[in-house]
Each structure stands twice: as C-alpha cells, then as structure tokens.
C-alpha cells in the first residue's frame, strides 16, 4: 500500500509566534491516529514564521479515515492556531507514494 504525505504550510503573525509555539507543542503531543506514522512541524529555513505541518500516513485508507476533530482539546488548539495565522497564507498538499 502506498503511503500518503499530507502537508499544511502557513505563516504565523510575528507577534503571535510565542503563542503558536506553545499551542503547536501541545497539539503535537495529542495528535495520534491509527495509520498515522508521523506528525511533525517544521519552520522553513530562511523564512521566519512560516511553518509546515507534515503528516505521514501508512495508506490511503488511513489518510481518508483520519479525523483530528474527535478530541475537544485538539479542536480548541486547532482553532487557536487558526487565529494566529496570517490570512490566506495556508496551502495544502497531498502526495501519494509510488
């Protein structure tokens, strides 16, 4: 089964960076799902306050079944992170392994 790589890239408002880092660290500790092999967050080198969340799923089925909205605390953190982003900066990408 091919793996699926799902990414979300966005800019965080510079005056909200500290709040973002706190929220994303907690989110990283909570995001778990069957078939989710890895969840990581990176800051783009040379581009301060631009971050990319990377999800690696073991299969297309695991990706399609992923729902991080089941946990109330996760929902609160996702809403908070959304409020810290620059408007219209979010880009999504889904890659399927050959």
Residue 28 three-state SS = helix
Q: State the pLDDT at residue 37.
A: 95
Q: State the pLDDT at residue 1.
A: 85
Q: State the pLDDT at residue 65.
A: 87
The pTM score is: 0.90
Could you say which residues of the chain have pLDDT below 50?
Answer: none
Lookup: tokens for 71: 């946990």
Q: State the pLDDT at residue 33.
A: 85
Neighbours of 93 (CB within 10 A): 11
Tens-digit pLDDT profile for residues 12-38: 999 999 999 999 999 999 988 889 999
Burial pattern 36-67, b for ≥16 Cβ within 10 A else e, equals beebebeeeeeeebbbebebbbbbbebbeebe
Arch. (CATH architecture) of 4-96: 2-Layer Sandwich (3.30)
State the number of CA atoms in the 13 A half-sphere of 36 facing the CB: 18
For residues 64 and 66, what is the distance between their CA atoms, to the nearest angstrom?
6
């Amino acid at each position: 089964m091919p793996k699926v790589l799902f990414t979300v890239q966005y800019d965080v408002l510079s005056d909200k960076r500290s709040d973002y880092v706190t929220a994303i660290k907690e989110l990283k500790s909570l995001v778990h799902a069957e078939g989710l092999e890895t969840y990581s967050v990176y800051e783009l080198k040379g581009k301060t306050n631009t971050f990319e969340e990377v999800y690696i799923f073991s299969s297309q089925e695991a990706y399609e079944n992923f729902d991080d909205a089941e946990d109330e605390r996760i929902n609160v953190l996702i809403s908070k992170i959304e409020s810290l982003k620059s408007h219209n900066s979010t880009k999504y990408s889904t890659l399927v392994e050959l």
